[in-house]
């Protein structure tokens, strides 16, 4: 009997290693497979190495038996586990595309990524995906079991890639699509950081002046002037505002929080979502940015789906569900219904009022030339640049407005507080001269 050291994968794709005694290699491989494993490596050990391996295996088995029942695996419930960020999913897709493109089988690629994955939810999903594929399911079917991680866009593109035998290309397109979408999202978020910081600072400074500084001046005025009758009108107004904030501050805060909660709840209803989405598209300055972002997202998503081989009717439904805006979703539903009846996409796009004439014209050219996916990609690239310009322009306009507003508020308070002080100083000076 010879001793063989092996490495193998179980039904879930996990790698195992160990030793086995058999008459020859063929018998060893058959014995490994009989245990439900798929051998990936097998080497015969010499006498000394075999003895060490046997001793090591006995010690490990003894240790395992001794510690059995003592180890406790602590696993957080799903609602406490961190959400998978788009950046992490994009990195996973990019790495999977690279491994598959390099010639590694899909199961092996998933196993490699599983070993380096640290996110508990993604790790759990990969375990399930590998197990499903081992049971005979396709990759897209396995992905569809985890809709909170892999949305309909992801699953449909993978399904089209499997059908066309171009899975690596589809995965690459998915990664590029996610990277560009995340880039635009981060630019918009980054542009809002400075205005939000200035706004928070303005609110904080104003609250500090109203609650701490103005009451101090008020007591000084009361002591020196004997009351507030002789104060200038602007000073009286600021003191009244300060008193209102002090007495009603808690009510103001609670009302603001309640208003935000109610608006969010209303936004989750069908009519509320429709109203707010319509409002977003028609707001001055900001509405232009929202519209351009929506056009870019819709164009890139639809172009990527069509280029990956997804049927246009299915692609339109996917884009509708991932548009993120009820008005845009309604326009896409009209386009879907028109295409289903054998009509062109151009008329319902133009009638929606959401898509600019340039986009409608490029879609029409794409339909006529059979290069719709390329045209949509060009539209997305164009509107990505326009989103960049709109973000830069809006930021440039908001920053000075916020700074001037802050200066106006603080300046008004300072002037209101120092005007009586000047009068007091003059009165004291005049009284001193008279003496």
Q: For residues 68 and 267, which has the higher predicted lDDT (pLDDT)?
A: 267
Q: What is the pLDDT of residue 384?
A: 83
What's the whole-number mean pLDDT along residues 31-54?
63
Per-residue pLDDT for 171 more than 80? yes
Across 14-18, 261-265, 317-321, 426-430, the highest mean pLDDT is recorded for 261-265
CATH of 2-66, one of 3.30.519, 3.30.70, 3.10.20, 3.30.420: 3.10.20
What's the whole-number mean pLDDT along residues 123-146?
87
Q: What is the pLDDT of residue 225?
A: 67
- Token pair 């879930």 is at which residue? 12
How many residues does this entry show for the chain?
A: 435
DSSP conformational letter for 80: G
For residue 270, what are its two tokens?
């069908």
Across 11-20, 26-35, 52-61, 179-188, the highest mean pLDDT is recorded for 179-188
Are 280 and 290 in contact by the 8 Å Cβ rule? The answer is yes
Model confidence, pTM: 0.61
3-class DSSP state of 38? strand
At 71, is the pLDDT very low, low, confident or very high (cuts 50, 70, 90)?
Answer: very low
Per-residue pLDDT for 390 more than 70? yes
Q: What is the pLDDT of residue 50?
A: 52
- Break the chain down into helix, strand, coil percent, rounded to 5: 75, 5, 20
Residues in CB range of 336: below 8 A, 6 or more apart: 313, 316, 317, 320
Q: What is the pLDDT of residue 427?
A: 64
- Taking the C-alpha atoms of residue 186 and residue 182, their distance in angstroms, rounded to an integer, is 6
Instruction: Write out pLDDT tens, residues 87-122.
Output: 888 888 888 888 888 888 888 888 888 888 888 888
**Spans of all domains in the chain:** 2-66, 151-435
Per-residue pLDDT for 376 more than 70? yes
Averaged pLDDT of the chain: 79
Per-residue pLDDT for 185 more than 80? no
Per-residue pLDDT for 219 more than 60? yes
Q: Which of 102, 89, 98 is nearest to 149 (CA)?
A: 89
Beta-strand pair 15-22/38-44:
unpaired
For residue 71, what are its two tokens?
């180890």
- Token pair 């998978």 is at which residue? 84
Q: Buried b vs exposed e over 346-361: b needs ≥16 C-beta within 10 Å?
A: bebbbebebbbeebbe
What's the whole-number mean pLDDT along residues 218-238?
77
Q: Which of 352, 328, 373 is nearest to 363 (CA)?
A: 373
What's the whole-number mean pLDDT along residues 328-356?
88
Backbone angles phi, psi at 65, to 5 degrees: -70, -40
At 228, is the pLDDT very low, low, confident or very high (cuts 50, 70, 90)?
Answer: low
In sequence order, the β-bridge partners of residue 8 are 16, 39
Angle between helices 167-208 and 372-434 (to 10 degrees): 10
3-class DSSP state of 322? coil
Rg of the chain in Å (alpha carbons): 34
Torsion sign across C-alpha atoms 155, 159, 162, 167: negative
In sequence order, the β-bridge partners of residue 15 are 9
């Amino acid at each position: 009997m010879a001793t063989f050291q092996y490495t193998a994968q179980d039904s879930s794709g996990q790698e195992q290693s160990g030793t086995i005694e058999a008459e020859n290699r063929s018998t060893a491989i058959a014995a490994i497979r009989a245990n439900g494993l798929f051998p990936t490596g097998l080497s015969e050990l010499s006498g000394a190495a075999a003895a060490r391996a046997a001793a090591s295996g006995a010690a490990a088995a003894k240790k395992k038996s001794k510690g059995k029942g003592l180890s406790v695996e602590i696993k957080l419930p799903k609602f406490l586990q961190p959400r998978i960020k788009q950046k992490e999913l994009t990195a996973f897709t990019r790495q999977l595309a690279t491994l598959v493109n390099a010639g590694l089988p899909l199961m092996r690629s998933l196993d490699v990524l599983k070993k380096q994955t640290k996110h508990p939810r993604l790790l759990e999903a990969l375990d399930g995906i590998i197990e499903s594929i081992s049971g005979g399911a396709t990759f897209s079917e396995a992905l569809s079991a985890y809709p909170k991680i892999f949305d309909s866009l992801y699953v449909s593109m993978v399904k089209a890639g499997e059908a066309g035998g171009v899975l690596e290309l589809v995965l690459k397109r998915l990664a590029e699509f996610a990277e560009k979408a995340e880039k635009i999202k981060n630019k918009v978020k980054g542009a809002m950081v400075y205005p939000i910081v200035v706004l928070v600072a303005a609110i904080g400074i104003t609250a500090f002046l109203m609650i701490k500084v103005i009451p101090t001046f008020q007591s000084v005025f009361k002591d020196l002037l004997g009351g507030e009758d002789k104060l200038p009108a602007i000073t009286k107004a600021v003191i009244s505002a300060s008193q209102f904030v002090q007495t009603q501050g808690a009510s103001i805060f609670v009302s603001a929080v309640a208003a935000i909660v109610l608006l969010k709840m209303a936004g989750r209803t069908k009519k509320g979502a429709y109203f707010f989405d319509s409002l977003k598209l028609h707001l001055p300055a900001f509405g232009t940015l929202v519209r351009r972002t929506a056009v870019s997202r819709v164009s890139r998503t639809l172009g990527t789906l069509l280029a990956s081989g997804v049927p246009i009717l299915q692609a339109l439904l996917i884009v509708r569900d991932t548009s993120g805006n009820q008005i845009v979703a309604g326009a896409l539903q009209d386009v879907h219904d028109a295409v289903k009846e054998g009509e062109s996409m151009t008329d319902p796009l133009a009638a929606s009022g959401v898509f600019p004439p340039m986009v409608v014209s490029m879609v029409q050219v794409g339909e006529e030339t059979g290069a719709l996916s390329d045209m949509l990609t060009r539209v997305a690239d164009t509107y990505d640049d326009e989103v960049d310009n709109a973000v830069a322009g809006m930021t440039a306009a908001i920053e000075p407005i916020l700074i001037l507003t802050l200066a106006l508020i603080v300046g008004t308070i300072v002037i209101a507080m120092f005007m009586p002080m000047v009068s007091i100083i003059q009165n004291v000076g005049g009284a001193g001269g008279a003496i």
